[in-house]
Amino acid sequence: MIESVDLTKRFDEVTAVDHVNAVIAEGSVFGLVGTNGAGKSTFLRLVTGILKPDEGRVLIDGEDVFTVPRIREQFFYVPDEQYFFSNVTPREMMAFFAKIYPHFDRGRFGRLAGAFELPENRKINTFSKGMKKQLSIILGLSAGTKYLLCDETFDGLDPVMRQAVKSLFAEDMTERGLTPVITSHNLRELEDICDHVGLLHKGGILFSRDLDDMKLNIHKLQCVLKPDMTANDLAAYLTDPLSVLRIEQRGSILTLTVRGSEYELLGRMEQLDTVFYEVVPLSLEEIFISETEVTGYDIKKLLF
Query: Could you report the per-residue pLDDT of 22-45, keeping only the tens digit for each?
Result: 888 888 899 888 777 778 889 999
The stretch 48-77 carries a mean pLDDT of 88
pTM higher than 0.75 for the full model?
yes
Query: Could you report the per-residue pLDDT of 113-159, keeping only the tens digit for each?
Result: 999 999 999 999 999 888 999 999 999 999 999 999 999 888 778 88
- Whether 304 has a pLDDT exceeding 90, the answer reads no
Q: Map residue 104 onto helix, strand or coil.
A: coil
- Distances in Å between the alpha carbon of 300 and those of 32, 154, 291? 16, 21, 12
Q: What is the pLDDT of residue 277?
A: 93
> CATH classification of 2-202 is 3.40.50.300, yes or no?
yes
Greatest Cα-to-Cα distance within the chain, rounded to the nearest angstrom: 75
Q: What is the pLDDT of residue 296?
A: 53
The stretch 15-20 carries a mean pLDDT of 89
Tell me which fold the domain 213-303 belongs to. Answer: Alpha-Beta Plaits (3.30.70)
The stretch 264-284 carries a mean pLDDT of 89
- Whether 99 has a pLDDT exceeding 90, the answer reads yes
Q: What is the pLDDT of residue 210?
A: 82
Q: What is the pLDDT of residue 299?
A: 54
- Distances in Å between the alpha carbon of 112 and those of 88, 152, 161? 19, 20, 12
Q: Write out the E strands in the chain.
A: 2-11, 14-24, 30-33, 55-60, 63-64, 75-78, 147-151, 179-184, 196-201, 204-210, 218-224, 243-250, 253-259, 276-280
Confidence class of residue 106 from pLDDT cuts 50, 70 and 90? very high
Domains 2-202 and 213-303 share a fold: no
Domain extents in the chain: 2-202, 213-303
Q: What is the pLDDT of residue 298?
A: 57
- Distances in Å between the alpha carbon of 120 and those of 92, 108, 113, 131? 8, 13, 7, 12
Q: What is the pLDDT of residue 195?
A: 85
- Distances in Å between the alpha carbon of 292 and those of 39, 235, 285? 19, 20, 10
Report the alpha-carbon distance of residue 249 to residue 254 in Å, rounded. Answer: 5
Query: Could you report the per-residue pLDDT of 202-260, keeping only the tens digit for each?
Result: 777 777 778 777 777 888 999 999 998 999 999 999 987 888 888 999 988 999 999 88
Average pLDDT in the chain: 86
